[in-house]
Amino acid sequence: MTISMYNASVPVFKQMLASMSHVLAKAEVHSKEKKIDPAVFLQARLYPDMLPLVRQVQIAADFAKGVSARLANVEVPTHEDNEQSFADLQARISSTLAFIESLNQAQFEGAAAREVILRPGTPKEKKFTGLAYLCSYGLPQFFFHVTTTYAILRHNGVEIGKGDFMGL
């Protein structure tokens, strides 16, 4: 019994991007109710040399689009990383979701065995099979940033729980 590379990637990204949008929406409501400048949340970190919330969201969205695009063998869409508000972050997530939803099962044919090369021609070049790229690299990276987004908000008092994270 096997599963398709599409089923192991696109629905997971969709579920967790929707959950990230949901916890950010709760954070925005919280910031309004408590009269806290939204920038406090967007720039919040768990430690001084960790990335702030806004970067966690951008990078999570980047992994969702980058992994999906490379497995589907299409160009990775670019984003400017200029988000400065909750609304901007929601737009970034929506745009990422729209891209992922534009992909179809057939584009993932052969993706498990296809060679994926990150940063080709640079000293940081990395080569994977599509399977390893998804399971041992893409999903761990993606979940790292989605969970860290949640953790930063939770640490800063936003009332969210595991159900909000799971997005089920």
- Residues at the interface with a second copy (CB under 8 A): 1-5, 7-8, 11-12, 15-16, 46-47, 50, 108-113, 131, 135-137, 139-141, 143-144, 147-148, 150-151, 154-155, 157, 162, 165-166, 168
Residue 137, burial from CB neighbour count under 10 angstroms (0-12, 13-18, 19+) = middle
Q: Tell me how far, at minimum, the Cβ of 70 lies from a second copy, in Å.
A: 14
Q: Tell me how far, at minimum, the Cβ of 157 lies from a second copy, in Å.
A: 7
Closest to a second copy by CB, 81 or 109:
109
Q: Which residue has the tokens 């940063």?
A: 119
Q: Encoding tokens for residue 78?
A: 């670019």
Q: Tell me how far, at minimum, the Cβ of 131 lies from a second copy, in Å.
A: 6
Question: Rounded distance, CA 110 to CA 32, Å?
Answer: 48
Residues 17-41: b if buried by 16+ CB within 10 A, e if exposed: bebbbbbbeebbebbeeeeeebeeb
Closest to a second copy by CB, 99 or 133:
133
Closest to a second copy by CB, 77 or 144:
144
